[in-house]
Amino acid sequence: MEKKALLQDKKTLLLGILLILGFIIRIVKVNSYPPLLWDEAALGYNAYSVLKTGRDEYGKLLPLIFKSFGDYKPGLYVYLTVPFVFFFGLNELAVRLPSVIFGSLTPIFLFLLVKEIFSSWQVAFWSAFTLTFLPWHIHFSRGAWEANVMTAFLVLGSYLLLKGQEDEKKRIAGLGCFLMALLTYQGAKMMVPLVLLGLVLIVRNPSVSIFQRMRKLFGGWGLLWGLLLIGWYYQSFSGPAANRLKVMSLFSYHRPEKEVAEILSEDNLSKRNWHFYLFHSQYLFYLRGVLVRYFNHFSPRFLAFAGDWNNPRHSAPYFGVIGHLNFLLFLLGTAIFLSREKERSKYFFLYWLAVAPLPAALSRDIASAVRSLSMTIPLSVFIGYGISKIKQRGLRVAVLVCLLIDFLYWGDLYSVHMVKRRPKEWLYGYKETVNFIQKRVGEKEKIVFTDFYGQPYIYYLFYTRYPPRQYQLQAKLEESKFGDVGRVIRLDKIIFRVPSWAEVRSCRNCLAIFSHDDVLRQGLDRLPSFEKMFKPLGKINGQVMFWAFER
């Protein structure tokens, strides 16, 4: 008995060490790296506004959905950020701490879920170990990414619902986790019902009907939860809140008419011809688009070698979202799993792997590491499964050493090269530029701040801690004609637009902030006294992101 207790203590200690290491990796220098993105600044400032006034930046009282740049975000992350803003002030650390904490806890939640389904400490531990050090998961745990918090709620909710079949309190808590996931991220509108369906399918009694399984899983709370679900979906898919979903949906973009005309001309067809309908219709265009996007997320390019090539903010350069060796271990683990496991409940993670890319596959982007983030859960399980089946101690040590080398290689790419390689995409230099403006705002009659890189107003609000009540009185978003995000034109004496050299060179007592691209486009770098007239701001890797001109 004493030996068993000692073994249990060692296992608990290992999990504790895993939790601490995961937290350290995710929080080191998180207040300064990577640079704050505008969505993070918006989440932070809205939390600050709620803390100070009980309202969002537009003056709406405690909303469930927050309007930001014309985009509408489920608001749970904002409310999770409020206490951290209260204790630490409005800064990068406060905004990112909810994601850091949930990202650090998710491996432990995964351990509990895998142990419940596989009844194996080894598989559960190595799955949690893999997620703790998985580059994809770490990347999104170090920023204020709502998808990361959603993933944590999906895992914890799944575990609690499975345990809740005999414990009513855990059942209620599990349903609450899925509700929290819905309130956190847009992609949860698809992932929540899909994961719940997967749980219903694995309930361990194949002789009962699916409705009986649902009753066993949800108990008497299923109807109430279903009504809440319908109400949330109605609010999300109606009115202005649905605009962003329409913009991001693949189905909002038709095949270019030029391409259709070329097909009709080449094959001598008309749109009513059955041949055109069978091989070139709009429905097939959408189907091909969905399938290409879906399978991109399983490609070696995405997983092992290049990461999210569609958006440099979503992965480190020259490296896949999970890495080279993890990709091989994933293939190995999946192959061993399929050859050995026959129990239906264990196929829950294979089902999760199959449905996780769907929110990304239905969007306009060719690949998206953030919308498919919940893939990290089944990927970690199959990688961990593969490691657990390596019985030779020497071979397992060798694999772990190779994983460490791969991890260190990714760490160098992430911490040294990622922002330097693409500073524009990472919106580098806004903090330094806002601090420069703040020191001069009282003495200048006019300030023009370029919006070439997008949404400078939210950085000004965030870094100056602009009083929310004062901003709410003048908050005005100019909506985009194309249904995409809008922009704020003016705040006090600051005008947010690309400054014109012809306008500002003769302006007295004014300040103009040009982006690097503005300078090149207007040929200002060719002026004889350019370096004397303009002050560089946000310099990185030999490139200046902003230039200040003042008179």
Closest to 180 measured CA to CA, from 47, 76, 46:
76
H or E stretch covering 213? helix 210-218
User: Based on the number of CB atoms within 10 Å of its own CB, is 33 exposed (0-12), middle (13-18) or buried (19 or more)?
Assistant: middle
Average pLDDT on 507-529 reads 93
Confidence of residue 406 (pLDDT cuts 50, 70, 90): very high
**482 vs 456: which has the higher pLDDT:** 456
pLDDT at 344 (0 to 100): 83
Q: What is the pLDDT of residues 67-124, one digit of tens each?
A: 888 678 899 999 999 999 999 999 999 999 999 999 999 999 999 999 999 999 999 9
What interhelical angle do 376-388 and 393-412 show, nearest 10?
Answer: 150
pLDDT at 9 (0 to 100): 79
Cβ distance 58 to 472 under 8 Å? yes
- Confidence check: pLDDT of 238 > 70: no
- For the ranges 103-112, 237-246, 477-486, 528-537, the lowest mean pLDDT is seen at 237-246
Confidence of residue 3 (pLDDT cuts 50, 70, 90): confident
- Confidence check: pLDDT of 243 > 60: no
pLDDT at 272 (0 to 100): 57
Q: Following CA atoms 187, 374, 182, 97 in sequence, which dihedral angle do they give, to the nearest 10 degrees?
A: -110
pLDDT at 232 (0 to 100): 64
**189 vs 330: which has the higher pLDDT:** 330
Contacts of 106 (CB under 8 A, 6+ apart): 131, 137, 141, 148, 151, 152, 155
**507 vs 383: which has the higher pLDDT:** 383
What radius of gyration do the chain's Cα atoms show?
26
- Confidence check: pLDDT of 291 > 80: yes
Average pLDDT on 10-18 reads 93
How far, in Å, CA of 42 to CA of 139, rounded?
Answer: 20
Of the ranges 71-75, 212-216, 392-396, the best mean pLDDT one: 392-396
Retrieve residue 244's tokens.
């962003």
- Confidence check: pLDDT of 276 > 80: no
- Confidence check: pLDDT of 308 > 70: yes
- Confidence check: pLDDT of 487 > 80: yes
Q: What is the pLDDT of residues 326-376, one digit of tens each?
A: 999 999 999 999 999 888 889 999 999 999 999 999 888 899 999 999 999
**110 vs 246: which has the higher pLDDT:** 110
How far, in Å, CA of 298 to CA of 272, rounded?
Answer: 36
Whole-model pTM over 0.75: yes
pLDDT at 250 (0 to 100): 56
- For residue 399, the one-letter residue type is V
CA 356, 362, 363, 366 torsion: positive or negative? positive
Average pLDDT on 540-546 reads 93
Average pLDDT on 443-451 reads 93
- Confidence check: pLDDT of 176 > 80: yes
Cβ distance 175 to 218 under 8 Å? yes
Cβ neighbours of 536 (radius 10 Å): 15
Mean pLDDT of the chain: 89
Cβ neighbours of 312 (radius 10 Å): 17
- For the ranges 46-60, 186-200, 229-243, 501-515, the lowest mean pLDDT is seen at 229-243
- Confidence check: pLDDT of 216 > 60: yes
